[in-house]
């Protein structure tokens, strides 16, 4: 059976890009294979953060994922820091990772430039931890948005190098080289105010991003103010980033192709109609998630119990991989069972 793994940051306020690019794929993954999802609180400490808030944001994120349709009986959902094998494998994989590769990462460059006080070593090592998150489960597929391409390439390279160096003849101690799975529509949702840049948690003002938990009125307002161009002609292409983004979102929200979304707009009278159509489709998609979220978030004990049960299942898989890797690398007493 295909094993699927993905991690998501505990920022709590997930946006439409996260929802379409990742969360919706997580839900679909439960029907396609063995799905393992983790809330990556250890990644969150690589930039400045508030300790008192981090635990809360993990629970917010867990509640959003469950509200979106993750079912603890059909997937493994857990908090990264509860499974220590991730960090142990990170250290072992640093031995097959070049500093130059980490230093060149697009995300490292942009996030380190945004740090005013301290550029942490954790920010540089972030992709090694991400590689370990996936490789420790020997996952076959990683559903994430287009922006994660570089990180996925690095984890594939880490697995290949580990295999070549420590398990040259192949065999059960090898690591799986995972595949990147990006959605067919909506792999890169753009900012509504600056449609040449991806919708992002940390860059730009709130007007440019729609949150999963936004009220319908706010969603409508944000789409009405979305930046388009002066033509009023509904057509997609690189010269029309704003309109292209809106049509993409419409297709993703209605779960159709871009061509079908365009065809449905044939009678539309310009951008005003387009904006309202997109807003309505997004409101319809997100309303049930927002409604379920409220009840789920209120029961913290239940959320913690789900995460703890998920961590136990995840640990059983991760421990087995780590014992193999330690053994192959000559670390520790050698595997006996």
Tell me which residues touch ligand AQP (CB under 6 A): 8-9, 11, 17-18, 20-22, 144-145, 147-148, 187-189, 198-203
* Closest separation in Å from C-beta 10 to ligand AQP: 8
Closest residue to ligand AQP using C-beta atoms: 21
- Please give the distance of CA 246 from its chain centroid, rounded to a whole number: 21
Q: How many Cβ atoms from other residues are within 10 Å of residue 217's Cβ?
A: 10
What Rg value do the Cα atoms of the chain yield, rounded? 21
Cβ nearer to ligand AQP, comparing 134 with 187: 187
Nearer to ligand AQP, 144 or 227 (CB): 144
Q: CB of 111: closest distance to ligand AQP in angstroms?
A: 7
Beta-bridged to residue 34, according to DSSP, are 3
Q: Which runs of consecutive H residues, i.e. helices, occur in 49-188?
A: 51-68, 85-93, 99-103, 106-114, 121-135, 149-166
In whole angstroms, give the CA distance from residue 125 to residue 95: 12
Minimum distance of ligand AQP from residue 280's CB (angstroms):
20
Q: Report the length, in residues, of the chain.
A: 337
Q: Are 61 and 39 in contact (CB under 8 A)?
A: yes
Nearer residue to ligand AQP within complex by CB, 161 or 290: 290
Region at 186 (left for phi over 0; alpha for psi -120 to 50; beta for the rest): left
How far apart are CB 322 and ligand AQP at their closest, in Å? 23
Sign of CA dihedral 25, 134, 202, 183: negative
Question: Which CB atom, from 209 or from 240, has the smaller least distance to ligand AQP?
Answer: 209
78 contacts 307 by C-beta, under 8 angstroms:
yes
Q: Which is nearer to ligand AQP, 9 or 163 (CB)?
A: 9
Closest CA to 162 of 2, 324, 337: 324
Cβ distance to ligand AQP smaller for residue 2 or 202: 202
Least distance (Å) from ligand AQP to the CB of residue 267? Answer: 29
* Smallest separation (angstroms) from ligand AQP to the CB of 128: 16
Nearer to ligand AQP, 20 or 317 (CB): 20
Q: Which helix (H) or strand (E) holds 22?
A: none
Q: How far is the CB of 199 from ligand AQP (least distance, A)?
A: 4
Residue tagged 């250890």 (tokens): 42
């Amino acid at each position: 059976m295909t094993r699927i793994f993905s991690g998501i940051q505990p920022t709590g306020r997930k946006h439409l890009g996260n929802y379409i690019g990742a969360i919706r794929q997580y839900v679909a993954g439960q029907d396609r294979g063995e799905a393992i999802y983790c809330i990556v609180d250890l990644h969150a400490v690589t930039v400045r953060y508030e300790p008192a808030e981090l635990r809360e944001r993990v629970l917010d994120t867990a509640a959003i994922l469950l509200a979106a349709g993750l079912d603890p009986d059909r997937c493994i959902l857990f908090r990264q820091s509860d499974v220590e094998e991730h960090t142990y494998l990170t250290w072992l994989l640093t031995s097959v990772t070049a500093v130059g590769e980490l230093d060149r990462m697009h995300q490292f460059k942009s996030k380190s430039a945004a740090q005013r006080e301290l550029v942490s070593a954790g920010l540089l090592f972030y992709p090694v931890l991400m590689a370990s998150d996936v490789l420790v489960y020997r996952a076959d597929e990683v559903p994430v948005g287009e922006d994660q391409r570089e990180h996925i390439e690095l984890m594939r390279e880490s697995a290949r190098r580990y295999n070549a160096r420590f398990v040259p003849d192949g065999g059960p101690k090898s690591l799986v080289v995972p595949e990147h799975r990006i959605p067919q529509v909506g792999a890169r949702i753009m900012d509504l105010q600056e449609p040449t840049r991806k919708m992002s948690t940390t860059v730009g003002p709130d007007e440019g991003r729609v949150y999963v938990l936004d009220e319908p009125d706010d969603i409508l307002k944000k789409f009405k103010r979305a930046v388009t161009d002066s033509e009023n002609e509904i057509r997609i292409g690189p010269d029309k980033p704003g309109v292209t983004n809106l049509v993409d979102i419409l297709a993703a929200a209605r779960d159709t192709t871009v061509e079908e979304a365009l065809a449905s707009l044939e009678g539309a009278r310009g951008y005003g109609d387009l904006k309202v159509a997109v807003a309505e489709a997004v409101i319809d998609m997100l309303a049930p998630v927002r409604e379920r979220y409220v009840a789920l978030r209120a029961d913290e004990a239940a959320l913690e119990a789900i995460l703890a049960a998920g961590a136990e299942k995840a640990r059983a898989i991760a421990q087995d991989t780590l014992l193999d890797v330690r053994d192959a690398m000559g670390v520790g007493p050698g595997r006996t069972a």
